[in-house]
Amino acid sequence: MTADLQQIWHREYEIVPQQLMCIRQIKRAAAAFNTNIDAVIKISGEHLAELAQEVNLTPTDLLNPQTKLISPKDVLRGIIKCFIQGIAEEWLCEDKTVDKWIQTHIGCGRLQMGGQAGIIANVMAALGVQEVYVHTAQHPQLQAKCFLDTDNLLAFDDNGTLKKAHDINRDRDEPLIHRIIEFAAGDSFELCGKKYTCPKSNRFIATYDTANLELKINDSFVQHLNRFGFDYLLLSGFHNLLSERGGLQRIDEIMPILQNWKKNNPLSVIHLELASTQDKIVRTRILEKLAPLSDSLGLNEREALDALEICRPQMYDEIKNKKLTVPILFEILQTLKNKLHTPRIQLHFFGMYLTLQDQNFRTTPNQNKCGMMLASTIAAAKAGLGNIENPDNLLWAQGQNIGMQSAENLQTLALYLNAPKLAETGITTVEDYDLIAVPTILVEKPLTLVGMGDTISSISLLGAR
């Protein structure tokens, strides 16, 4: 049956090249607010063990729930937590000396575009959206060179003039560098005689970034969208805010800007990428204020669990230590949909993307399925090649079968929902919602996972045409 499903979905995926062409009809799309530079660093289990010994880390230290990077020991705790569980998290650093310790002891890595807005802007430009506007709090030359060298990707210079993002140099601005520390499935290390093995390739993000921590807004960007509008607006960056540093007030200050954009662009789609928000108070405000304002919400399985902690604490307590099976992830998604009332929510996890949307949503279930298959194909290219900056690489994975795990995930969900046709069509109805489930192409040894969720969410949405 799994082999049969692979063949069925092989035929479904044949529409992907045609779907890519549809994106090029989009006139204006914007990405805000967080753009930075990522330093991507590979870490081995052996190096992790050496560093843990160097800072005298013990298994007891791993029980500390704090998620701020106050000392080198906290950095190791964060990496090890994600390594052991095979998950991705982002922890914030307010101490320059800790950031310097990471650079000295873990490395500088390879520099590339970072921040959800920056990554999504590059993706939209590579896909051929006619005009892409990207928000930048800081735009020195090092940041500019991370943008694709294309005429359709635009930002604002010191004088508020719209220019090609790659060519701008606001030379008084400071480079904002985030440390993306990646680890590989199957790698292991020992701590105090106990061996730990990584179950899934993933990463830990250590962020020292004063501008994005305060979510500084570029007024020229705001005024341009007010004047010229947009077809799609993809938002993120709120996860960097801290409640003790005015984070809640900052969200309240930004709300009128978003409301005005929404009022002036009633036919547009506003998407919110949740991201890993460690400050629980800020996470609550994002879900209470920003999610209902958005037309669409994107998250991964870890972020979905974090959202559940806010929306349904009792349910969270019951499942937080369980393995996140496909049925449990669906139940989380449905619970969030009922609570947040966001018209469309998409959850991406290993081997499957799930979208739950209102039945009157502006894109049909089949359009969403096509967008999600396009996202799966391009995400596989990003994983397999390391980037999708070259347009010729976008369809590198076209024609590859969905993974065995992907087919099994879909079968499991179809049985759980008693919806046998779901396994073949990817579409069914649950309560008053349309459910779209797409099994994905899997890359056995990905070169990178950085920005994968942002790529998936943005392409799924823009490709749903």
Q: What is the pLDDT of residues 38-84, one digit of tens each?
A: 998 999 999 999 999 999 999 999 999 989 899 999 999 999 999 99
Token pair, residue 443, equals 């890359």
* pLDDT confidence bin for 108, thresholds 50/70/90: confident
Which of 72-81, 93-102, 219-228, 295-304 is predicted with the least confidence, judged by mean pLDDT?
93-102
The pLDDT value recorded for residue 390 is 83
Among 180, 207, 187, residue whose Cα is nearest residue 42: 180
Q: Residue 175 has what pLDDT?
A: 87
Gap between the Cα atoms of 451 and 237, Å rounded:
13
The pLDDT tens digits of the residues spanning 254-288 come to 999 999 999 999 999 999 999 989 899 999 999 99
Question: What is residue 1's predicted lDDT score, i.e. its pLDDT?
Answer: 67
Closest to 449 (Cα-Cα) out of 29, 24, 42: 42
End-to-end CA distance of the chain: 31
* Mean local confidence (pLDDT), 91-106: 90
CATH number assigned to the domain covering 2-37+113-172+215-462: 3.40.1190.20
pLDDT of residue 377: 97
Amino acid identity of residue 376, one-letter, is S
Confidence of residue 459 (pLDDT cuts 50, 70, 90): very high
Beta carbons within 10 angstroms of residue 454's beta carbon: 24
231's CB contacts (< 8 A; 6+ apart) are 26, 27, 28, 29, 267, 268, 269
**Cis (ω within 30 of 0) for the bond into 230?**
no
> What average pLDDT score do residues 445-453 get?
83
Task: Please give the Cα distance from 13 to 382 (Å, whole number).
Answer: 17
pLDDT band at 223 (very low <50, low <70, confident <90, very high): very high
Q: pTM score > 0.95 for this model?
A: no
**What is the predicted pLDDT for the residue at 212?**
84
Is the confidence at residue 449, as pLDDT, over 80?
no
- Counting residues of the chain whose pLDDT is more than 90, the rounded percentage is 85
Indicate the fold that domain 44-105+176-211 takes in CATH. Adenosine kinase, small domain (3.30.1110)
Percent pLDDT > 70 in the chain is 100
Mean pLDDT of the chain: 94
What are the extents of the domains in the chain?
2-37+113-172+215-462, 44-105+176-211
Residue keyed to tokens 């992790």: 48
Which tokens go with 266?
């009633």
Is the model's pLDDT at 2 over the cut of 80?
A: no
Half-sphere exposure of 366 (CA within 13 A, CB side): 3
The answer, yes or no, to whether residue 395 has pLDDT greater than 90, is: yes
